[in-house]
Amino acid sequence: MTPTPPFPELVALVEERSATLRAAAASAPDLAAPVPGCPGWALRDLVAHLGGVQRFWALTVTEADPSGPPSRERHGSTSPQSDLLEWFGESTRLLAAALLAAGPDAPCWAWWQPSAAPLTAGAVARHQVQEAAVHAYDALEALGKPEPLPAGVAVDGVSEFLSTCLGSLGAWPHRPARVQYQAIEGPSWTVDLSPAGAVADPAASGDPVTRIQGTASDLILLLYRRIPLDAVRIDGDREVATQLREWSQVN
């Protein structure tokens, strides 16, 4: 796996990618524009969603209770109560402040408990970079101006997705397989799929049955189902790549 960026850099990336989304929404002729990556959503729904997510995690990090998420009474409404873009900007500020106040090692509840990812504010910051980055891509795509994710964000995003998102899905329901993701920029990642689940960076050696190649941005957009399988190069058993895409979508 590739090294995780330092915690202050992760928080800064949450702010930067959120600012990109906000700027895209501010430049949109109409916030009713559909978002291709989120079927059924308009641009205003995308902004409201990420703002609500950021407020939820700000409170979750602040409570520092790994035993469970904040109660509904504690977090109250996470829906916009004022000007949407001002509210969204404040959502990002609340999350960044909560993360920096807590520090990377603070305990924290998270939905990925079955995975190898820790239940810490640092892990939340890392995942929120991806949440903001992919949704910033969504906002730009809604304007007809999609841009690749920054290389550093995308490289860590592949590693984070394999260990956290796939790692929380439980048992792989198909024939065991090893998949390698190869970024054109150089890094590669391996994941083993078996009844034990998805294990990223496995200790055992062996050749992959499927190799998926593309830019780091393409790989993370593929994992989040923003682009089709045909947008990347797949060598070996293509059926495994199809099964993996469907499995992560169902769960």
Please provide residue 234's backbone torsions phi and psi, each rounded to the nearest 5 degrees.
Answer: -125, 120
Band of residue 76 on the pLDDT scale cut at 50, 70, 90: low
Asked whether residue 173 falls in the same domain as residue 210, the answer is yes
Asked whether residue 192 falls in the same domain as residue 100, the answer is no
Whole-model pTM over 0.85: yes
Asked whether residue 133 falls in the same domain as residue 182, the answer is no
Asked whether residue 157 falls in the same domain as residue 90, the answer is no
Is residue 82 pLDDT above 80, yes or no?
no
Lowest mean pLDDT among 9-18, 36-45, 75-84, 209-218: 75-84
CATH number at residue 223: 3.30.1050.10
Asked whether residue 132 falls in the same domain as residue 41, the answer is yes
Asked whether residue 57 falls in the same domain as residue 134, the answer is yes
Last residue of a domain, one of 116, 142, 168: 142
Q: Is residue 171 part of a domain?
A: yes
Asked whether residue 32 falls in the same domain as residue 114, the answer is yes
Would you state the structure tokens that stand for residue 244, as one six-digit string? 């993996």
Asked whether residue 121 falls in the same domain as residue 17, the answer is yes
What single letter denotes the amino acid at residue 32? A
CATH number at residue 19: 1.20.120.450
Asked whether residue 18 falls in the same domain as residue 127, the answer is yes
Q: Is residue 192 part of a domain?
A: yes
Asked whether residue 24 falls in the same domain as residue 127, the answer is yes
Those residues with Cβ within 8 angstroms of residue 225's Cβ, 6 or more apart along the chain or in another chain:
245, 248, 249
Residue-range definition of the domain harbouring residue 32? 7-142
Instruction: Count Cα neighbours of 122 within 13 Å in the Cβ-side half-sphere.
Output: 11
Mean pLDDT, rounded, for 171-187: 95
Asked whether residue 137 falls in the same domain as residue 181, the answer is no
pLDDT, one tens digit per residue, over 192-204 is 999 999 999 998 8
Cβ atoms < 10 Å from Cβ of 163: 23
pLDDT, one tens digit per residue, over 100-151 is 999 999 999 999 988 889 999 999 999 999 999 999 999 999 999 999 999 9
Q: Which residue has the higher pLDDT, 204 or 233?
A: 233
Is residue 238 pLDDT above 80, yes or no?
yes
Task: Say how far apart CA 96 and CA 218 lie, in whole Å.
Answer: 27
Count of structural domains within the chain: 2
Asked whether residue 138 falls in the same domain as residue 159, the answer is no
Q: Is residue 2 part of a domain?
A: no
Strands across the sheet containing 233-236 = 197-200, 188-194, 177-183, 210-214, 233-236
Residue-level pLDDT at 204: 83
Element (H, E) at 236: strand 233-236
Is residue 77 pLDDT above 70, yes or no?
no
Q: Which residue has the higher pLDDT, 114 or 236?
A: 236
Last residue of a domain, one of 124, 142, 160: 142
Contact 165/248 with Cβ under 8 angstroms? yes
Q: Which residue has the higher pLDDT, 159 or 2?
A: 159
Last residue of a domain, one of 111, 142, 173: 142
Those residues with Cβ within 8 angstroms of residue 166's Cβ, 6 or more apart along the chain or in another chain:
115, 191, 197, 198, 200, 248
Q: Is residue 69 part of a domain?
A: yes
Q: How many contiguous H segments (helices) and E segments (strands) does the chain have?
A: 8, 5
Q: Is residue 1 part of a domain?
A: no
